[in-house]
Structures are given as structure tokens and as C-alpha cells.
Amino acid sequence: TQFEKQFVVQDSRVIARIEDKTAAAPDKKGGLLVFAADAHAGGVDTFVKSVKKAYHQWKQGLPPFPEAQKPALSQWTIGNFFTKSYTADTGAVFNEKSMGIEITALDFTELMDIAESLCDACKQETLLLMEYTQNKILALSYKPQQKEQSV
């Protein structure tokens, strides 16, 4: 589609690919999660490890994804896919240096679950979600979970 040509994979740099051989659902096109340009300040390797950890937790139905059961996921691709510039109300800047995770074969609700978990894992409060099925772009604000400390 025109949306995909404008925002996804054109002149991008793929950094990592996580594949699963399960069949993709044709009615679930997936989407792209874009993190602020400073989200990977700790290093690209650390960012990729956080994403891979969240992927494996989701795949196995581990917290925070206890209800996930062998999802029909074809692939996660990590790279620099965003070619525009956007500044969120929170001050987060999204540009060509922003890391993105393209995920296929998920619906909007599943993408939101993944987005919340990745925001928590990567300690991000704002992220862009480009959802392919409905062809929408949303700026999401998320407050990372506070871990309780025992006294």
C-alpha cells in the first residue's frame, strides 16, 4: 500500500530479525512500533536484547503476556524504518534515528499489548504505533510500571 511504501522498509537498515514459522493470519497485517530517537541510548545491542526478551516472553505466554498462546506470528524485524520527523507532546523526538520494530500477523489489540510491554521493558513513555490493518498512526503515552520494593 501507499502507507507501507511511505513509512516502512524503504531505505531502511534492518538490524535484527526474529522469525517464527507459524502461519500468518491474512486478516492481521500487523504494524510498526517506533521508539523515540533516544530510546536506544544504552546501545543498539541492549535494545535488541530487550526486544528479544519481550518476544520470547510473549511467545511463551509469560508475564506480562499470560494469556498469549502460540500466536500466529510470522516475523519481528528491528531497524530504522521511520523517515519523517515528529515531536510528541511529551517532548519525545521521532526521526530517522528512531528504532522501529515491524511485527506481522497481529491485530490492533495484540500490537497494543506488545507496545505496553516493550515500553515497560525499554523504559519508554511515548511510542508511535503504525497499524497496517486500519492504516492508522497513533502516538501512545504509557507510564512504565512501578516495581514495588519490599521494606
Quote the CA–CA distance of 83 and 70 in Å, as a whole number: 33
Mind listing the domains of the chain with CATH numbers? 2-141 (3.30.310)
Q: Provide the CA 58 distance to its chain's centre, in angstroms.
A: 13
Query: What is the arithmetic mean of pLDDT over 14-34?
Result: 67
Structure pTM? 0.72
Among residues 95, 55, 94, 97, the alpha carbon closest in space to that of 77 is found at 55
Quote the CA–CA distance of 100 and 82 in Å, as a whole number: 7
Dump pLDDT digits (tens) for 90-145: 888 999 889 898 888 888 888 888 888 888 777 788 889 998 888 888 888 877 55
Q: Are 114 and 11 in contact (CB under 8 A)?
A: no
Quote the CA–CA distance of 64 and 61 in Å, as a whole number: 8
